[in-house]
Amino acid sequence: MTLELFLLLAAALFAIGLYGALSQQSIVMLMMGLELMLNGVIVATAAFWYFVAPGGADGQVLIVVIITAMAVEMAAGFAVVTALYRARRVDMTDDAADLKG
């Protein structure tokens, strides 16, 4: 159990999430990718707290912030998808690409 191991794990989760965010057509799946990336960030933050700065509470607060952010973004994301779906019956990013250039 070292910092590097945790960070490698975090990086791996981050990369998987990034792959998902980049490759998924469905907005909800894409959001899952983003969640997974944040998952990695949680790991990294916890590890940093433990291995680098256990004396303060900043790391812990950061994790709280991350969790809140996940929740907020999930909610916002679902709302956007709902609105989009109502407006144009699509839930794929590729199908909503009228604005460009």
Partner 1 sequence: MLLWWLIGVPLLSGALLAVTGRRADRAAPVAGVLVAVAVLGLAVAAADARPVVDAPLLLAGIRAGFAVDGLSALMVITVAVATLAVLVFSGGDRDLRTSRFVGFVLLFAGAMLVTVTAATLAVLLMAWEVMGAMSWALIGYQWREPESVRAAGTAFLTTRFADLGLYVAAGAALAGGVGSLALAELPSAPTPWLHVVAAGVVLAALGKSAQLPFSFWLSQAMHGPSPVSALLHSATMVAAGAYLLLRLIPLLEPTGWAGPLVAWVGAATAVLLGLVAVAQSDLKQLLAASTCAQIGFMVLAAGAGGVAGGALQLVAHAATKTLLFLAAGAWLVVLGTKQLGELRGAARRFPVVGVTFTVGAASLAGLPPLSLWVSKDAVLAAVLERGWVPLYVAGLAGAVISAVYSAKAVWFVWQPVPARTPAGARAADGRVNAAMSLPLVVLAALAALLGLLPTLASGSLAPAPAVWELVLSGLLAAAAIAVTWRSAARIGAPRPLASWLGLERAAHAVIVHPTLALARFLARFDDRFLDRSVDAAARATGAVARALDRRGEPLVDGAVRAVAVAARSLGRLARRPQTGQVHQYYAQAAAALALLALFVIVVR
Partner 2 sequence: MASIVLFWVLAVAALVFGFLVFRLDSMARVTFALLASFLAVAGLVLLLGLGYLGVVIALMMVIEMVIMAVFMIMFMMNPAGLMPMSMVHNKTGSTAIALGTFVLLAAGILLVDWPSRQGSPSPDPTFALGEALMGGQMLTMMTLGVALFATIVATVVLATARGRYDRLGDDLRAPRADDPAGGGVGR
Partner 3 sequence: MTGASMMNENPGALIPELLLLGGAVVGLLLGAWLPRCRQWLVRLLAAAAALAGLAATAAAATRPGEVAFGTSYAIDTLTHATRAIVLVAVLVALALSVDATAGHRRETEFVVLLQLGALGTILLGGANDLLLLFAAFLLASVPFYALAGWDKSTLGTEAAMKYYLSGAFLGVAMLTGTAVLYGVGRSTAYGPLREGLTVAPVAAAAVGLVAVLAGLLFKVGGVPGHFWVPDVTDGTPAPVAAIVTTIPKIGGLGAMYRLLLVAIPADTIDWPLLVAGLAAVSMTLGNLAAFFQTSVQRLLAYSTISQVGYLLIAVAVAGRAGLAQPALLFYLAGYAITNLGAFAVVAALPSARTLEDYRGMARHRPALATALVVCLLGLIGTPPTAVFVGKLTVFTAAVEGGFAWLAVVAVVNTVASVFYYLRWIAPAFRSAAEQAPPAVLESGGAAAAVSAYACAAAAVLLGVGAGAVLPLLSPA
Could you say whether residue 1 binds partner 3 (CB under 8 A)? no
The answer to whether the beta carbons of residues 96 and 25 sit under 8 Å apart is: no
- Using CB under 8 A as the binding rule, the residues of this chain from 28 to 87 that contact partner 3 are 30-31, 34, 37-38, 41, 44-45, 47-48, 52-53, 56, 58-59, 61-62, 65-66, 68-69, 72-73, 76-77, 79-81, 83-84, 86-87
Residue 89 zone, left/alpha/beta (φ > 0; ψ -120 to 50; rest):
left
Q: What are the C-alpha distances in Å from 101 to residues 45, 52, 90, 94, 97?
A: 39, 46, 21, 15, 10
Task: Name, in order, each residue with C-beta under 8 angstroms of 52's C-beta and a sequence gap of 6 or more.
Answer: 3
Which residue, among 35, 34, 45, has the nearest Cα to 9 in the 3D structure? 45
Could you say whether residue 96 binds partner 2 (CB under 8 A)? no
The answer to whether the beta carbons of residues 30 and 14 sit under 8 Å apart is: no
Could you say whether residue 22 binds partner 1 (CB under 8 A)? yes
- The contact set with partner 1 (CB under 8 A) reads 18, 21-25, 30, 93-94, 97-101
- The contact set with partner 3 (CB under 8 A) reads 14, 17, 21, 27, 30-31, 34, 37-38, 41, 44-45, 47-48, 52-53, 56, 58-59, 61-62, 65-66, 68-69, 72-73, 76-77, 79-81, 83-84, 86-88, 93, 96-101
